[in-house]
Amino acid sequence: DAGVIQSPRHEVTEMGQEVTLRCKPISGHDYLFWYRQTMMRGLELLIYFNNNVPIDDSGMPEDRFSAKMPNASFSTLKIQPSEPRDSAVYFCASSFRNTEAFFGQGTRLTVV
């Protein structure tokens, strides 16, 4: 397996634009997590899914953020409209029965 795959690796967008981050978890994993990492706030859990169902989205900062998992092999995190304070590295991670989490390479988002 190629591991957790995230795209794009880097994204630069203008304030107000819609941004969509994508994640393909490891096949067979039943948990998927979206994290955001910044120097100020560290690694924050935004939302997680179990068997494609969102379980806890209390970490999603605002209504501008939304996440979906239409099937077991794909998830998206969307920001609309984007703001400069959304600039961060966004990680997707997956795990099987919530044991060790495997992280993707991350998407470095810059909103100017």
Partner 1 sequence: GQQVMQIPQYQHVQEGEDFTTYCNSSTTLSNIQWYKQRPGGHPVFLIQLVKSGEVKKQKRLTFQFGEAKKNSSLHITATQTTDVGTYFCAGPRNNNDMRFGAGTRLTVKP
- The footprint of partner 1 (CB under 8 A) covers 31, 33, 35, 42-43, 45, 48, 50, 55-56, 91, 93, 98-106
Closest CA to 35 of 25, 47, 26: 47
**Radius of gyration of the CA atoms of the chain, in A:** 13
Shortest distance, position 16 Cβ to partner 1, whole Å: 29
Name which of 13 and 101 has its Cβ closer to partner 1: 101
Q: How far apart are CA 12 and CA 55, in angstroms?
A: 30
Name which of 18 and 54 has its Cβ closer to partner 1: 54
Name which of 81 and 95 has its Cβ closer to partner 1: 95
DSSP string spanning 44-91? EEEEEEETTEEEE-TT--STTEEEEEEETTEEEEEESS--GGG-EEEE
Shortest distance, position 101 Cβ to partner 1, whole Å: 6
Shortest distance, position 14 Cβ to partner 1, whole Å: 25
